[in-house]
């Protein structure tokens, strides 16, 4: 899935995509504050987004989801304890 597809699935809580297994893997791959600081510093230093590697582009896009970590944790809980 692309970052855009993941974002849409999270916004809609699409349970055909947002399974416990998927969300747990996503939780493991949420960018850390240090990773985002590094990407921000690169861009603020004049680096172009299109020169970022694919993982950094993914981090940039997925980090736009408000409360991403809490949202994913809440969805996991909802799915485990209906």
pLDDT in tens, 10-30: 999 999 999 999 999 999 999
pLDDT in tens, 39-58: 999 989 998 888 999 999 99
pTM: 0.85
Q: Is the dihedral of CA 53, 58, 59, 64 positive or negative?
A: positive
- Interacting residues of 46 by C-beta distance below 8 A, sequence separation 6+: none
């Amino acid at each position: 899935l692309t970052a855009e597809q993941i974002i849409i699935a999270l916004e809609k809580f699409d349970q055909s995509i947002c399974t416990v297994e998927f969300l747990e893997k996503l939780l493991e791959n949420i960018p850390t504050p240090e990773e985002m600081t590094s990407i921000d510093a690169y861009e603020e230093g004049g680096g172009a987004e299109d020169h970022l590697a694919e993982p950094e582009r993914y981090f940039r896009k997925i980090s736009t989801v408000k409360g991403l970590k809490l949202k994913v944790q809440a969805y996991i809980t909802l799915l485990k304890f209906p």
